[in-house]
DNA sequence: CCCCAACCGTA
DNA sequence: GTACGGTTGGGGG
């Protein structure tokens, strides 16, 4: 090894634990073998070996080794008997993965190094220093703080999960000391995980400060008498020997005997077939394909390797402590690839078998872009239409000239069909693009004209419209609402459809995005061409009709192809997981319902907004002057950074909270606190922020969304962007129009009904608390809702023994905050913040609440347990919300996921209820011969436009449909209550 | 031109 | 303490 070389040292043992806890807990091979950590490990190795240069490592390795712990009986155990004594057994799912990861390392042709009596860290340290001495550079792939002592200008660490380099500055930033002082710092702080004692009462912050002051540990111990803080001084003096022992435990050995000399770590070329055989045995479809591509191997002719799997204690090899429980040990299992992929799917015994067979068939099916065709004449189009009718199933996409389906024109259609949809093989899929709205990109004075060699829209519509409107032919799309709305504007109403985005959402809400890219990558092991690659972006970006037809054809046909493949994988999966009902009853019907709502839009009065904007501008300007006056200078008030400098620097006000980047927070809460202390400026800032927020986000932005033709505002609802099942609203977001302040409410007066109509707002009263009363079955809550009693007052009465009549508003306010807190998965910290009380008092409230309502605690505990066991929670209608991080080893992350998992069934059930109401609403109104049109949804509220003469007849229909929405699927144990009223604008209707 | 952090509007 | 989306400032390329 020499200068210019670069040695990569992977902390294999560290990676196993980290990956296991960071990755979704339920990643399993088809035979149930847990392989999440192995998968993460293989992907990381491949990335480092092929394009480390493109990660933040920035260099390509010349030498490479993966290091493991061999035995826990190391020299450290001799130094200190309790070392690592409180290490608990690794989780059961992790056990077989220890051996697999070693096998993976060998499959990658990489040295797999472990030495008896030493930890991986010592081996890494020894190699790193030796390599450094030759002038080479070293990257240690680990984020373990125990290794940070090794960092120098030539030795870096790399956190592969966060793609983050850790060098000297990063160590200082994180720990407050440079790497060479890490040993002393750790000696002072200790480590509860490894049972390194350290000095009691000294944490990282104090330790860094002491080392800054005294230089190093020995000096500190010698001069400990100078420390001013009594307790700290005494603790350090009393525990000096403990610190010295700790130092010996954390200091890494640089003299570990090395079986493999440094120079033997030179990176060898990959053995493609060997690696592929292993990856196939592990069923890593996506990585198998990437490796096969890179090695130019045909993966399909390579037999999966036979992999020995050990489930029992022996799986970890010798690094297990004596006396471990081996009762769960089983005989080694042979884990070859399952035969399912090759099985005749007609013979699939269960939906799960079919789903598995499809998934396997499609992850290894090759996608051949060269066989996509462009349809340019009516004969070809007729042929395709005939085939589509014969098959009865097509994947379909409408390519528009804008991402906004309310603005877009149609550039062309793409479709894909399988000659036999029961054959799970990519060979039988054909895909085509039908351009008819493309323009040529000539930049001359005449502008652009129609592109040549394409059918006319008339020719295409005449043939395609009947197919799209024929319920006997299933149309499969991805985010079909886009095409549905775009086509509806052009006189076509799609009948009979499926949406793979929604299938994925039902199957895996919370596990990641549901974009076509993400789904293709995940399920098909294939990354489609991105729109950017095809059309460019930014200033030079083209609208799709300007894209060259050949390029457009491949892009569009590929999308249809992938959509068809995805439906063949995901639809059986729905059945296997018993989620078909959720998909068919709660998701699919909303595509058409929402598309119609979006198309209708709502009238927003430009004049009202313009007048409000002027008022806001004047008021803000006046406050601005006053702010500059008080501050004594002009600055950018909207910059939290500059504002912080003024408030906490120049003016010397006491800082409150810090943001996560270490800046002083200038949040409304902090400013309110300062105002309460009698300071002038913070109040003004709060007022200024409110006014400018209203102006920029609402009064100034909304007019820009008024559609040039319809003169109305058309939001877009996103069906698959929340974990819980709620919708979200974008461009513009009409689910966050102000209501809480008088100033903000005025914006709602700009949302008006058209002439001869009124707006009707109908909202569920306390729907989430009612859902909670139902699912947790709380007698007092059920009774209160049955009797129509004020629920917060009832809660206060139960908790504080105050009668409901004449209850002080402060008492009720606190009970209300607790009720909300319960829905949000309560913590003493959060409740304390909300009520501005201290944490112990908040803890008392929670304790008392649980005493009065023990069923709520039971619900919370059982929900957490369910989430931990399954990785997801369910609404009362069976919708799933996944929380892959609920088993995180990070207590903060875990607690957050627990709270979210408690909230999701409540929020999600309420979301399901209003979805059911929306789906039923239109046919119900129609049956009642009412012309009311549903326009907007705001989570627990629906907004309609109703003819003046029909209001009295319509209100009860709306109310009943909403109140009965859970039935007959669920008989709620509490009644649902809906309030509805009509007015000429949204403010008065609500 | 793109991304992130901070902040704030809703249920 | 839950769930979202939009605007701004400020930094990077």
> CA A824, C1' B8: Å apart?
19
Q: Is residue A384 part of a domain?
A: yes
C7 C1' closest Cα residue: A697
A15 with A136, same domain? yes
> CA A889, C1' C3: Å apart?
24
Listed residues A557, A578, A599: the one ending a domain: A578
- The token duo for A707 is 């559609």
**Rounded distance between C-alpha atoms, residue A219 and residue A199, angstroms:** 15
pLDDT tens digits, A864-899 = 999 999 999 999 999 999 999 999 999 999 999 999
**Rounded distance between C-alpha atoms, residue A477 and residue A343, angstroms:** 28
Q: Is residue A990 part of a domain?
A: no
Q: How confident is the model at residue A443 (pLDDT cuts 50, 70, 90)?
A: low
> Where on strand C do bases come within 7 A of a protein Cβ?
1-11
B11 C1' closest Cα residue: A939
The CATH number that applies at residue A488 is 3.30.420.10
Confidence (pLDDT) at A334: 26
Q: Which carries the bigger pLDDT value, residue A425 or residue A798?
A: A798
Q: From the alpha carbon of A644, which nucleotide's C1' atom is closest? A: B6
A660 touches strand B (CB under 7 A): yes
Residue among A702, A727, A697 at smallest CA distance from A942: A727
Q: From the alpha carbon of A537, which nucleotide's C1' atom is closest? A: B1
Q: How confident is the model at residue A212 (pLDDT cuts 50, 70, 90)?
A: confident
> CA A538, C1' B3: Å apart?
15
> Where on strand B do bases come within 7 A of a protein Cβ?
1-2, 5-11
Cβ-in-10-Å burial (0-12, 13-18, 19+) of A526 comes to buried
A441 with A375, same domain? yes
> CA A76, C1' C7: Å apart?
56
Residue among A949, A906, A954, A905 at smallest CA distance from A928: A954
pLDDT tens digits, A455-467 = 999 999 999 999 9
> CA A686, C1' B8: Å apart?
11
Q: How confident is the model at residue A325 (pLDDT cuts 50, 70, 90)?
A: very low
What single-letter DSSP state applies at residue A972? -
Q: From the alpha carbon of A733, which nucleotide's C1' atom is closest? A: C5
Q: Is residue A768 part of a domain?
A: no
A500 with A387, same domain? yes
- The pLDDT of A527-532, averaged and rounded, is 93
Per-residue pLDDT for A454 more than 60? yes
Q: From the alpha carbon of A818, which nucleotide's C1' atom is closest? A: C1
Confidence (pLDDT) at A23: 66
A441 with A390, same domain? yes
Q: From the alpha carbon of A896, which nucleotide's C1' atom is closest? A: C1
- The pLDDT of A418-424, averaged and rounded, is 60
Q: Among the listed ranges A16-25, A187-196, A639-648, A826-835, which one has the minimum average pLDDT value?
A: A16-25
pLDDT tens digits, A157-177 = 998 888 888 888 888 888 888
Q: Is residue A955 part of a domain?
A: no
Query: Percent of chain A, pLDDT > 90?
Result: 63
Confidence (pLDDT) at A318: 33
A653 with A561, same domain? no
> CA A938, C1' B4: Å apart?
28
A744 touches strand B (CB under 7 A): yes
- The token duo for A978 is 């809906």
Q: Is residue A947 part of a domain?
A: no
Q: Which carries the bigger pLDDT value, residue A920 or residue A3?
A: A920
**Rounded distance between C-alpha atoms, residue A537 and residue A556, angstroms:** 17
**Rounded distance between C-alpha atoms, residue A875 and residue A860, angstroms:** 14
Confidence (pLDDT) at A102: 86
**Rounded distance between C-alpha atoms, residue A181 and residue A720, angstroms:** 49
pTM for the whole structure? 0.69
**Rounded distance between C-alpha atoms, residue A144 and residue A149, angstroms:** 10
- For chain A, the average pLDDT equals 89
A489 with A626, same domain? no
- The pLDDT of A558-587, averaged and rounded, is 96
**Rounded distance between C-alpha atoms, residue A574 and residue A352, angstroms:** 9
**Rounded distance between C-alpha atoms, residue A419 and residue A413, angstroms:** 19
The CATH number that applies at residue A814 is 1.10.150.20
Give Cα A458 to chain centroid, integer Å.
43
> CA A77, C1' C13: Å apart?
51
Q: From the alpha carbon of A914, which nucleotide's C1' atom is closest? A: B11
**Highest-confidence range of A269-273, A320-324, A395-399, A526-530, by mean pLDDT?**
A395-399
A733 touches strand B (CB under 7 A): yes
> CA A731, C1' B1: Å apart?
20
A1 touches strand B (CB under 7 A): no
> CA A312, C1' B5: Å apart?
47
A666 with A565, same domain? no
A567 with A477, same domain? yes
Per-residue pLDDT for A395 more than 80? yes
Give Cα A802 to chain centroid, integer Å.
44
A670 with A552, same domain? no
Q: From the alpha carbon of A817, which nucleotide's C1' atom is closest? A: C1
**Rounded distance between C-alpha atoms, residue A485 and residue A715, angstroms:** 12
Q: Among the listed ranges A152-161, A203-212, A828-837, A886-895, which one has the minimum average pLDDT value?
A: A203-212
- The pLDDT of A797-802, averaged and rounded, is 95
A570 with A626, same domain? no
Listed residues A233, A265, A297: the one ending a domain: A265
The CATH number that applies at residue A651 is 1.20.1060.10
Number of structural domains found in chain A: 4
Q: Which domain holds residue A791?
A: 773-902
Cβ < 7 Å from nucleic strand C = A 636, 638-639, 641-642, 696-697, 700-701, 718, 721-724, 726, 728-733, 735-736, 817-818, 820-821, 824-827, 829-831, 833-834, 896, 899-900, 903-904, 907
C6 C1' closest Cα residue: A697
Q: Is residue A94 part of a domain?
A: yes
> CA A701, C1' B9: Å apart?
13
Per-residue pLDDT for A71 more than 80? no
Q: Is residue A117 part of a domain?
A: yes
A697 touches strand B (CB under 7 A): yes
A889 touches strand B (CB under 7 A): no
A683 touches strand B (CB under 7 A): no
Q: Which carries the bigger pLDDT value, residue A159 or residue A508?
A: A508
**Rounded distance between C-alpha atoms, residue A469 and residue A471, angstroms:** 6
Q: From the alpha carbon of A695, which nucleotide's C1' atom is closest? A: C7
A414 with A559, same domain? yes
Cα-Cα-Cα-Cα dihedral sign, residues A13, A17, A23, A26: positive
C9 C1' closest Cα residue: A639
Confidence (pLDDT) at A714: 97
Confidence (pLDDT) at A684: 97
Q: How confident is the model at residue A275 (pLDDT cuts 50, 70, 90)?
A: confident
Pairing of strands A63-67, A6-11: parallel
**Rounded distance between C-alpha atoms, residue A669 and residue A241, angstroms:** 47
- The pLDDT of A208-219, averaged and rounded, is 84
The CATH number that applies at residue A74 is 3.40.50.1010
What dihedral angle (degrees, nearest 10) is formed by the CA atoms of A311, A317, A320, A322? 100
Q: Is residue A196 part of a domain?
A: no
Per-residue pLDDT for A974 more than 90? yes
Chain A 913-942 residues whose Cβ is under 7 Å from strand B: 938-941
Confidence (pLDDT) at A239: 80
Q: Which carries the bigger pLDDT value, residue A304 or residue A759?
A: A759
B2 C1' closest Cα residue: A538
Q: Which carries the bigger pLDDT value, residue A539 or residue A988?
A: A988
**Rounded distance between C-alpha atoms, residue A465 and residue A482, angstroms:** 17
- The token duo for A352 is 């799960």
Cα dist. A330→A21, A268, A662 in Å? 24, 36, 51
> CA A684, C1' B6: Å apart?
19
Q: From the alpha carbon of A829, which nucleotide's C1' atom is closest? A: C1
Enumerate residues 6+ apart whose C-beta is below 8 A from A527: A517, A520, A521
What single-letter DSSP state applies at residue A449? -
Q: Find residue A435's DSSP bridge partners.
A: A412
A741 touches strand B (CB under 7 A): yes
DSSP A853-908: -HHHHHHHHHHHHHHHHHSEEE-TT--EEE-GGGG-SSHHHHHHHHHHHHHHHHHH
Question: Under a CB-based contact definition with an 8 Å cutoff, are residues A275 and A220 in contact?
Answer: no
A629 with A568, same domain? no
């Amino acid at each position: 090894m020499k200068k210019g070389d670069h040695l990569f040292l992977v902390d294999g043992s560290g990676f196993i634990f980290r990956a296991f806890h960071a990755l979704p807990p339920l990643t399993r091979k088809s035979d149930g073998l847990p392989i999440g950590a192995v998968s993460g490990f293989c992907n990381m190795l491949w990335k480092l070996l092929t394009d480390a240069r493109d990660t933040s490592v920035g260099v390509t390795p010349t030498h490479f080794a993966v290091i493991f712990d061999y035995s826990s009986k190391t020299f450290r155990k001799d130094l200190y008997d309790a070392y690592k004594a409180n290490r608990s057994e690794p989780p059961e799912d992790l056990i077989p993965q220890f051996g697999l990861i070693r096998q993976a390392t060998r499959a990658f042709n990489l040295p797999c190094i472990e030495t008896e009596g030493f930890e991986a860290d010592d081996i890494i340290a020894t190699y790193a220093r030796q390599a450094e001495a030759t002038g080479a550079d070293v990257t240690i792939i680990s984020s373990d703080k125990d290794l940070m002592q090794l960092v120098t200008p030539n030795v870096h660490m790399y956190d592969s999960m966060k793609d983050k380099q850790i060098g000297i500055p990063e160590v200082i930033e994180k720990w407050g000391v440079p790497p060479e002082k890490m040993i002393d710092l750790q000696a002072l702080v200790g480590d509860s995980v490894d049972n390194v004692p350290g000095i009691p009462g000294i944490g990282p912050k104090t330790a860094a400060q002491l080392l800054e002051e005294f230089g190093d540990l020995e000096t500190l111990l010698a001069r400990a008498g100078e420390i001013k803080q009594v307790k700290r001084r005494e603790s350090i003096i009393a525990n000096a020997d403990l610190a010295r022992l700790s130092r010996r435990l954390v200091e890494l050995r640089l003299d570990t005997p090395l079986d493999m000399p440094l120079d033997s770590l030179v990176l060898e070329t990959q053995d493609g077939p060997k690696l592929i055989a292993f990856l196939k045995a592990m069923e890593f479809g996506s990585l198998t394909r990437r490796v096969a591509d890179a090695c130019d191997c045909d993966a399909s002719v390579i037999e999966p390797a036979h992999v020995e799997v050990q489930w029992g204690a022996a799986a970890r090899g010798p690094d297990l402590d004596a006396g471990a429980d081996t009762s769960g040990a089983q005989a080694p299992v042979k884990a070859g690839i399952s035969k399912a992929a090759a099985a005749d799917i007609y013979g699939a015994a269960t939906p799960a078998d079919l789903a598995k067979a499809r998934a396997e068939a499609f992850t290894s099916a090759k996608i051949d872009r060269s066989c996509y065709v462009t349809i340019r004449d009516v004969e070809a189009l007729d042929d395709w239409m005939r085939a589509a009718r014969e098959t009865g199933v097509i994947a379909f996409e409408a390519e528009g000239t804008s991402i906004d389906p309310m603005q877009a024109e149609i550039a062309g259609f793409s479709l894909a069909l399988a000659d036999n949809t029961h054959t799970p093989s990519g060979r039988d899929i054909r895909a085509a693009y039908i351009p008819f709205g493309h323009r040529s990109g000539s930049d001359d004075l005449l502008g652009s004209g129609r592109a040549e060699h394409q059918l006319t829209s008339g020719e295409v519509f005449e043939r395609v419209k009947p197919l799209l409107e024929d319920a006997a032919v299933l149309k499969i799309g991805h985010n079909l609402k886009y095409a549905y709305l775009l086509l509806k504007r052009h006189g076509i109403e799609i009948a009979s459809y499926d949406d793979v985005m929604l299938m994925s959402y039902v199957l895996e809400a919370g596990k990641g995005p549901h974009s076509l890219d993400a789904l293709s990558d995940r399920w098909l092991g294939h990354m489609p061409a991105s729109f950017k690659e095809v059309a460019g972006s930014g200033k030079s970006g083209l609208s799709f009709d300007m894209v060259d037809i050949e390029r457009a054809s491949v892009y569009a046909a590929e999308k249809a192809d992938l959509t068809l493949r995805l439906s063949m994988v995901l639809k059986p999966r729905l059945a296997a997981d018993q989620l078909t009902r959720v998909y068919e009853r709660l998701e699919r019907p909303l595509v058409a319902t929402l598309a119609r709502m979006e198309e209708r839009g709502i009238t927003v009065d430009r004049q009202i907004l313009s007048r409000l904007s002027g008022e806001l501008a004047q008021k803000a300007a006046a406050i601005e002057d006053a702010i500059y006056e008080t501050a004594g200078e002009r600055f950018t008030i909207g910059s939290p950074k500059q504002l912080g400098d003024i408030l906490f620097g120049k003016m010397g006000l006491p800082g409150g909270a810090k943001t996560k980047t270490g800046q002083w927070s200038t949040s409304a809460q902090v400013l309110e606190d300062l105002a309460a202390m009698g300071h002038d400026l913070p109040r003004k800032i709060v007022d200024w922020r409110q006014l400018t927020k209203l102006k920029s986000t609402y009064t100034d932005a909304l007019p820009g969304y008024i559609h040039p033709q319809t003169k109305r505002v058309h939001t877009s609802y996103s069906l698959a962007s929340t974990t819980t099942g709620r919708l979200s609203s974008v461009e513009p977001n009409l689910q966050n129009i102000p209501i809480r302040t008088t100033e903000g409410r005025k914006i709602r007066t700009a949302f008006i009904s058209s002439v001869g109509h009124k707006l009707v707002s109908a909202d569920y009263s306390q729907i989430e608390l009612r859902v909670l009363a139902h699912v947790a079955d709380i007698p007092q809550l059920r009774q209160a809702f049955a009797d129509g009693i004020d629920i917060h007052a009832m809660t206060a009465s139960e908790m504080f023994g105050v009668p409901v009549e004449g209850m002080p508003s402060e008492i009720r306010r606190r009970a209300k905050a607790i009720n909300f807190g319960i829905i949000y998965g309560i913590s003493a910290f959060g409740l304390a913040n909300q009520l501005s009380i201290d944490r112990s008092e908040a803890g008392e409230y929670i304790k008392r609440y649980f005493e009065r309502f023990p069923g709520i605690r039971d619900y919370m505990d059982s929900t957490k347990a369910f989430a931990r066991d399954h990785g997801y929670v369910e609404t009362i209608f069976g919708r799933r919300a996944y929380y892959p991080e609920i088993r995180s080893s990070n207590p903060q992350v875990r607690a957050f996921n627990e709270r979210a998992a408690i909230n999701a069934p409540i929020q999600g059930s309420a979301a399901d209820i209003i979805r059911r109401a929306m789906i039923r609403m239109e046919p119900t109104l129609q049956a009642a011969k009412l012309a009311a049109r549903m326009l907007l949804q705001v989570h627990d509220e629906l907004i309609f436009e109703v003819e003046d003469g029909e209001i009295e007849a319509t209100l009860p229909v709306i109310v009943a449909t909403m109140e009965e929405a859970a039935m007959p699927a669920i008989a709620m144990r509490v009644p649902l209550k809906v309030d509805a009223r009509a007015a000429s604008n949204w403010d008065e209707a609500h």
